[in-house]
Amino acid sequence: MLEMLRSLRRDSRGLALTEFAFAAPIFLTLVLAGLELTNLALAHLRVSQMAMTVADNAGRVTSGIDEANIYEVFSGAEANSSALGFKENGRIVLSSLEHNGRSGSREGQTIVWQRCWGDDTAVSSSYGVEGDGKNNDDLEFGMGNGSNTITALEGTAVMFVEATYDYQPLVDTGFFDPPTIRYESAFNVRGRQNNEISNTQNLDEMDC
């Protein structure tokens, strides 16, 4: 019996497997955490780029804005965000911010029209809806947070975009509360003479 016990004490077979069993959970946790952080960083980058691209493309329409142009702008966003599943888990709010043409105590900015894309209908603009500020100074300082407010000069418009996305983790473990990613972007329109939106093809409005 003593000899057998001494033999078992000297036996190192299976030691590497035992050590791996202890180390594997830690190693896998570090790998998955690294992948998740990388994916989260990429999601932030893509949502940021999407907000900027939508505002830029909407501002590039020069002949006059039409509902068909809105469809094209949002189609581009859908093509660029398919890897995120943005349509199913996010929302883009596109607002045309303009001077309200008033003076005195009623002077300010107004949201002349507003269009939305994405299935997360619980998301709305943080600054107002279509028609806000038309006859008063409710949007005196325009749209945006803190000192980063955006206003439009008289006779022109600013395409203001709010992009919100509920992050979809690679692995749903229940220990990670997926964050909501939100970015804003704004671009002046370029050379557009008429900022009133038309609907020459009688398309369904992508309203909010």
Tokens at 158, concatenated = 């600013």
- 3-state SS string for 34-73: HHHHHHHHHHHHHHHHHHHHHHHHHHCCCCCCEHHHHHHH
In this predicted model, what pLDDT tens digit does every residue of 43-65 receive, in sequence order? 999 999 999 999 999 999 888 89
Q: At what angle do helices 15-59 and 67-80 cross, to 10 degrees?
A: 160
- What is the separation of C-alpha 158 from the centre of its chain, rounded to a whole number of angstroms? 18
Amino acid 81: pLDDT: 86
Terminal Cα-to-Cα distance of the chain (whole angstroms): 82
The pLDDT tens digits along the chain (208 residues) read 666 655 555 555 555 666 666 667 777 777 777 888 899 999 999 999 999 999 999 999 888 899 999 999 999 999 888 888 999 999 999 999 999 999 999 999 999 999 999 999 999 999 999 999 999 999 999 999 888 899 999 989 999 999 999 999 887 766 678 899 999 999 999 988 788 999 999 999 999 9
- What is the separation of C-alpha 47 from the centre of its chain, rounded to a whole number of angstroms? 4
Amino acid 51: pLDDT: 96
Amino acid 13: pLDDT: 58
